[in-house]
Amino acid sequence: MLLDADGVVIVDRVTERLRMSKVQLAETIGLSPETLQRSTRAAAPRTQMRVRELLEIVQRVSAWAGGEAQAVAWYRGEPIPAFGDRTAESLVKEGRAAAVRDYLDHVALGGFA
């Protein structure tokens, strides 16, 4: 379970599950590494939103990517032609997670990348 009783994403569990350090996770979601070092900052709404966006996208991609590790690799490094070969990671860092979700919906319905 990645959430505590109050519905807050537990960063330590996310890093363990995705096999990355807090520094790597922070870089992946576009936050400073210090953000995830303190529990109060890790529980802040902006931080929680970014972690949830990452988790949602990784979950949606993992089925066709071959697992969570491959989904994280896709998220971080696969250029998406529809976005000028930018990665999901770069789009989420800019606050465009909704665009990535829309893209994934489009592909899931049989649309072309």
Asked if residue 5 is part of any domain, the answer here is: no
69-113 pLDDT, tens per residue? 999 999 999 999 999 999 999 999 999 999 999 999 998 888 665
| Model pLDDT, residue 108 | 85
Asked if residue 4 is part of any domain, the answer here is: no
The values of phi and psi at residue 86, to 5°, are -85, 155
C-alpha gyration radius of the chain = 14
| Model pLDDT, residue 113 | 57
How many domains are there within the chain?
A: 1
Q: In terms of residue numbers, what domain contains 66?
A: 11-108
- CA gap 17, 93 in Å, rounded: 21
Express as a percent the part of the chain with pLDDT over 90: 88
20-60 pLDDT, tens per residue? 999 999 999 999 999 999 889 999 999 999 999 999 999 99
| Model pLDDT, residue 112 | 65
